[in-house]
Amino acid sequence: MDFTITCEHAKMEDKKNIFSSLSEHQIETFQKYCTEETYHAGEVVFYEGSVGDTAYIILMGGVEIWKDYDTPEQGLLAVFNSGQMFGEIAVLDDQARSATVVAREVVKLLSINRDDFYRVIKENNTISMSIMKSMSGMVRDRTDNFAEDLKARNRQLEISHRQLELEIEERKNAESALIDSKEKLRILSSHLLKAQEVERIRLSKELHDDLGQSLALLKHLVRSIEKKSNLEQSFNHEAHDHCIDYVDGIIENVRRISRDLRPSILEDLGFSAAFRSLTENFSRQYSIQISVNIIDVDDLFSMDTQTNLYRIFQDVMTNIGKHAQAGCVTFSIEKEDDKCIFVIEDDGKGFELKDTRNRKNPVKGIGLNTIEERANMLDASLVIDSITGKGTKIVLEVPY
């Protein structure tokens, strides 16, 4: 304890340190009431939240003042160096420490507890006045620093706030552009699907009327050739019959293609009859056992909606026939409050829906996309539930 405070210590760093208003003699007197302590780098002088009655004056080295020390949210409030005082509030009240103080390096501190502090003030009026002057200067300094710091933080906050506002605005713009382009895409695909339907009707009509008629005429011509040639012995009847069969085959194919393009049953008898015919053809074509439990829903929907529904189930059935390897398929249509529930379930091999969505080639496999698009056009909810090895269930709920 042979450390002596000199005026040099008092003048160090901060002109408003605790000794700034004290004479050399007063400092020496003050020192007699204090104890000297040494802390090493990283050592804690006191913890936030602890209760103490001691104030400290830094003689040598520096300390860090931490908030929430030892927690992930810790923040360094300040660094104090020689001549500065900390923990002084503890000599005035019994409140818990408001921060943790940690030695930055080897620090020498003078500590004075509450009783000794009161004693030095009581016994030395002039020291008391000088200390009060120094302390009020220190408090003013810290308040100024705090206010300055607060202003700087406010400025920073304002800048961050503005940046955030700009980012939010940019994001909002991008979002509305995305919604806009999604909406445009939706309108475009709905137009495309409608145009496709019109084109199918035209093709179907042309195939049925023009090509169908031409083929019927061709058959008639071939027949008349037979009649004329009956007189000629060399006429090959077998080749002739073969030719007629061949033309009949072509006529049947043209009819089928025309019917697939636009089944007249849909226009003539409506969705329910067309749907039944679709399931029967499906069962025949793929030799799959079917169970049908459907009600008549034609009165509930416009012709456009019926066409969309028909196309959806045409695609669903084609998928089952092409991919599912199913043994049995169940079809059901039920009415519930203000919606119709269509369910198609197969017991085939199932598939991973996310794999089909992540396909690299967007042109291949547009069936499911078109089904979703058509469901959107109907404001319907579509749930595709597929389990590998167990089968696929498709539920379409259409409001009416």
Ligand X SMILES: Nc1ncnc2c1ncn2[C@@H]1O[C@H](COP(=O)(O)OP(=O)(O)OP(=O)(O)O)[C@@H](O)[C@H]1O
Contact indicator for 352, 388 with CB cutoff of 8 Å: yes
- Residue 133 interacts, among Mg ion, ligand X, none and using kind-specific CB cut-offs from 5 to 8 Å, with none
- Is 328 a residue that touches ligand X (CB under 6 A)? no
- Is 192 a residue that touches ligand X (CB under 6 A)? no
**Rounded CA separation 130/330 (Å):** 98
97 or 311, CB closer to Mg ion?
A: 311
Short-list 250, 249, 338, CA closest to 297: 338
First-residue to last-residue Cα distance in the chain: 95
Question: Residue 339 is inside which H or E element, if any?
Answer: strand 339-346
- Residue 339 interacts, among ligand X, Mg ion, none and using kind-specific CB cut-offs from 5 to 8 Å, with none
- Residue 323 interacts, among ligand X, Mg ion, none and using kind-specific CB cut-offs from 5 to 8 Å, with ligand X
Least Cβ distance, residue 245 to ligand X (angstroms): 32
CA distances to 204, 245, 299 from 252, rounded to whole Å, are 14, 10, 32
- Residue 348 interacts, among Mg ion, ligand X, none and using kind-specific CB cut-offs from 5 to 8 Å, with ligand X
Q: At what angle do helices 24-32 and 125-206 cross, to 10 degrees?
A: 80
Least Cβ distance, residue 294 to ligand X (angstroms): 19
Q: Which residue minimizes CB distance to ligand X?
A: 367
Least Cβ distance, residue 348 to ligand X (angstroms): 5
- Is 390 a residue that touches ligand X (CB under 6 A)? no
20 or 369, CB closer to ligand X?
A: 369
Residue 283 pairs in a beta bridge with none
Alpha helices in 4-94 (DSSP H): 7-11, 24-32
- Is 324 a residue that touches ligand X (CB under 6 A)? yes
Interface residue list for Mg ion (CB under 5 A): 319, 367
Contact indicator for 51, 35 with CB cutoff of 8 Å: no
- Is 323 a residue that touches ligand X (CB under 6 A)? yes
Q: Which two tokens stand for residue 4?
A: 């002596």
Cα 373 vs. chain centroid, distance in angstroms?
22
- Is 14 a residue that touches ligand X (CB under 6 A)? no
Least Cβ distance, residue 367 to Mg ion (angstroms): 3
**Rounded CA separation 111/105 (Å):** 18
In the list 17, 258, 279, 392, the residue contacting ligand X (rule: CB under 6 A) is 392
Contact indicator for 57, 49 with CB cutoff of 8 Å: no
102 or 316, CB closer to Mg ion?
A: 316
Contact indicator for 40, 102 with CB cutoff of 8 Å: no
- Residue 108 interacts, among Mg ion, ligand X, none and using kind-specific CB cut-offs from 5 to 8 Å, with none
Least Cβ distance, residue 159 to ligand X (angstroms): 50
Binding region for ligand X (CB under 6 A): 319-320, 322-324, 346, 348-351, 356, 365-368, 392
